[in-house]
Chains A and B, each alone.
Chain A
Amino acid sequence: MGQGTICAAGWQSNPPNPPLLKGGKGGIIDFYWEIDMSDTILDVINLKKYFYHSAGLFSFLKKEKSIIPAVDDVSFYLKEKEILGLVGESGCGKTTVGKLILRLIEPTDGRIIFNGMDMQNLQKSELRKVRSQMQMIFQDLDAALNPRMKVKDILKEAITVYEDLDYYQVNKRIAELMNQVNLKKSKLGNYPDELSGGEKRRVGIARVLAVKPKLIIADEPTSALDVSIQAQVINLLRDLQEKLGLSYLFISHDLRLVELISNKVAVMYMGRIVEMGLSDRIAHKPMHPYTNILWSSLTEGGDKVISPGLSWQVFDFERPVTGCRFHPRCEVFKSRGNPKECIDLQNEPKLTQIGASHYVACHFPLL
């Protein structure tokens, strides 16, 4: 995206009239955020990531590759000390969004502004510094834990990546971290294999805290854990957020936990955010038919039952969908007698503001 003239810093100091940002292919961003940008820590603008996929042995004959639009024009922002929940079906692109923000993978298009700095324009040394301020808790419990290192060495390594500390300071910091995540000191001598799932997760969190981040991207931090440990980890994440003033992008498929922990929730469907707003509103007064299906599948008593009317189809990046990408599964589309707006190729619904901090991408939002 080459507008260049609007640098992030300028943008920050520029309210009350935020400039219109031009999208990469000439499209204008459909919405920009309410004026107070001063404490915005992360701004994601028209982010895209396409994976190319050579389908099968003979695809080269057809001279075409299928595209997986894992992240397709995603925009959102996150304020300091705020928790934004990101929910959506498996494979809809949540983890990819997280990895893009950390620049673990390169975006196809779009901008990421962290703390007023445009990640795209950063020098190597600056990027390194920014990296220490954003950390990711990975979906996979073992991903960040080297099996040949003891807990103590894992933490030590993390502490000394960005900071030059002496032996005494390192040990003090290790003790502090173990305390913050409620781990017994006796676990310091253990190898990851000798830890239970909950303990591994807590070591993972300690490792992330070691570099003193401002923003933590927590990718399914509890999905590999059982209920009681899940509760411990959620309580821990909430406490740490309060104590250390952290911001979280909380990625999860567990709607109840997302509702509990987040201030705001963004709902993703096939690479795109279809609804975003305050967590109470999203959970109890959803406007997008997909969000409605998601939350109504949780009924009182905690049983998860899919509402009987839901037509469940394989959700498919390969099969092109014209117009709204949700229409093959949409109840509103059906009950309104297949309105042509929903299948109009030129008119895929865009995320538009429809109430105070409430954004929906649907031609016929539920009211």
Chain B
Amino acid sequence: MSEEILKVEDLRTYFYSYTKEAFIRSVDSVSFSIRKGEVLGIVGESGCGKSVAAQSILGLITDGPGIISGNIFLTRNDKTVNLLDGLSDYASIRTKRKAILEISKDISGWLKRSESLMKGIRGKVISMIFQNPKSALNPFITVGDQISESIMLHKGIQAKKEAMAIASKWLERVQIDSPSMRLYDYPHGLSGGMCQRVMIAMALSSEPSLLIADEPTTGLDVTIQTKIVELLKKLREELALTILLITHDMNVIMQLADRIAVMYGGRIVEYGLKKEIMDSNSFIRHPYTIALLNSIPTIGEIKAKERLRAIKGDVPDTITLYRGCRFYERCTLKNDRIKKRCKEAEPEMIEIGTGHYMRCWLAE
């Protein structure tokens, strides 16, 4: 087994909703780890906390309560640092029977500490492809300037001309047409898919050890998507790149991920090797994972123009949580034997096979 490059333990990221006067538990006690050179995929419906988890790792959560506890260990050259080290001194949480009563936080102290922890790491050791490329790019700076600035900052290159040449190479690698011309474009002159590829080029240009890719291929058509997937595969070999891949596209997960974490309502509900989680013959899988996979339309259904199978109901808001399983309302697999338990107690993470974990009473 190669070493773990990132280990997230009991991460909790909560927000406060002023309109509802309540706490939102976007990420609620999440733990996972990524080994060097591995691709870990996080899947789940929108709103389940995937992006917030990713932003937490990069120290990008600045609002309100934000990250309130947990550890994020980053290992590099045999040295391990905790990216949340000492932050708990700036926040405290008061709960009563699982309900959050109060979170108090010294925001400025927190931010200062967080910035000093992330210095030299964000954008260099860990870089991120954001879900919304249009808002992640600066509209007033040309694409070439944005990428070359990042290259100069993170790769220690002094000459602007050299940095521009590297930027152009990266644009070519992500299949941007006429890269030398596009360097002088502002983001608004690019199509949605092009902005996304520019983001990818920028994130990769610093040749990070860990790449967090939040929906890197959504909005791209099949041909370019395939190219991006191929590019990521290739970089993984060339640069020993480790990837935390967040996506709802099962095809991308199938092609890239080694292990998968399925998230629901701020929790990881299933975690294990891709081949076990995605294998439809697999002995046991989480009802949510099954529902998620079922909502991908088959070719036959498309031909027959059938109504798509959505998972009935909405993702729970993580404000009002009941005692039981978070998927209870929407779960179609709960049977009479366990129904009562499902409603009354939340299942713990149970190991059901080597390295395969699941949070469901069915696994008992």
Contact = CB atoms under 8 A, between A and B. Distances in A.
B2 interface: no
A184 to B, nearest CB: 8
Interface stretch (B74-82, B107-115, B202-210, B305-313): B305-313
B285 to A, nearest CB: 16
A338 interface: no
Contacts of B305: 260
Interface residues of A, number: 66
Interface in A222-259: 223-232, 234-235, 238, 253, 255-256, 259
Nearest to A88: B221
Interface string B298-328: 1101110101111100110000000000000
Interface residues of B, number: 65
A294 B197 CA distance: 20
B45 A90 contact: no
A231 B299 contact: no
B224 A140 contact: no
B29 interface: no
Contacts of A238: 307
A224 B131 contact: yes
A131 B17 CA distance: 36
Given A56-B184, A231-B308, A304-B222, A91 B177 contact: yes
Given A56-B183, A224-B218, A304-B222, 10 more contacts: A56-B180, A88-B221, A91-B177, A95-B191, A227-B296, A230-B308, A297-B226, A301-B299, A302-B297, A318-B181
- Specify the main secondary structure of chain B where it touches its partner: loop
Interface of B: 17, 19-20, 24, 43-47, 131-132, 134-135, 172, 175-178, 180-181, 183-185, 189-194, 196-197, 215, 218-227, 248-251, 254, 291-292, 295-299, 301-303, 305, 307-311, 314-315
A343 B184 CA distance: 31
A20 B223 CA distance: 38
Interface stretch (A2-10, A121-129, A187-195): A187-195
Interface stretch (A34-42, A164-172, A206-214, A309-317): A309-317
Contacts of A227: 248-250, 292, 295-296
A300 B19 CA distance: 47
Interface stretch (A112-120, A153-161, A196-204, A348-356): A196-204
6 contacts: A57-B184, A228-B45, A230-B308, A280-B303, A298-B222, A318-B177
A88 B220 CA distance: 10
Contacts of A198: 45-47, 315
Contacts of A11: none
Given A53-B181, A89-B224, A314 B251 contact: no
Contacts of B46: 196-198, 225-226, 229
Of A55, A189, A298, the most chain B CB neighbours within 10 A belong to: A55
A141 interface: yes
Given A231-B310, A260-B308, A90 B192 contact: yes
B184 A142 contact: no
Of B175, B223, B296, the most chain A CB neighbours within 10 A belong to: B223
A235 B307 contact: yes
Contacts of A139: 192, 219
A256 B305 CA distance: 10
A298 B47 contact: no
A223 B177 contact: no
Interface in A46-103: 51, 53-57, 66, 87-91, 95
A319 interface: yes
A287 to B, nearest CB: 19
Contacts of A223: 218-219
Contacts of A55: 180-181, 184
A220 interface: yes
Nearest to A93: B191
Nearest to B172: A314
Contacts of A306: 222-223, 226
Contact of B189 (A51, A229, A256, A312): A51
B141 to A, nearest CB: 15
Interface string A278-305: 0010001000000001100110111111
A179 B135 CA distance: 30
A88 B193 CA distance: 12
A298 B222 CA distance: 9
A238 B177 CA distance: 35
A297 B177 contact: no
A140 B192 contact: yes
A142 B132 contact: yes
Contacts of B315: 196, 198
Contact of A231 (B191, B225, B309): B309
Nearest to B46: A197
**Pairs A-B, 7 closest by C-beta atoms:** A90-B193, A226-B248, A196-B47, A253-B221, A197-B46, A231-B308, A318-B178
B64 to A, nearest CB: 11
Nearest to A55: B181
B244 to A, nearest CB: 17
B134 A140 contact: yes
Contacts of A280: 303
Nearest to B226: A306
B302 A95 contact: no
Nearest to B315: A196
A56 B178 CA distance: 12
Given A220-B219, A304-B226, A315 B180 contact: no
Nearest to B307: A235
A238 B297 CA distance: 15
Contact of B254 (A53, A142, A303): A303
B267 to A, nearest CB: 16
Contacts of B223: 89, 293-294, 297, 306, 312
Contacts of A235: 307-308, 310
Nearest to B17: A194
Nearest to B190: A91
A228 B181 contact: no
Contacts of A141: 132
Contacts of B303: 259, 280, 284
A191 B311 contact: no
B221 A90 contact: yes
A55 B299 CA distance: 44
B224 A256 contact: no
A54 to B, nearest CB: 7
A300 B298 CA distance: 8
A189 B46 CA distance: 20
A231 B295 contact: yes
Contacts of B297: 231, 256, 260, 302
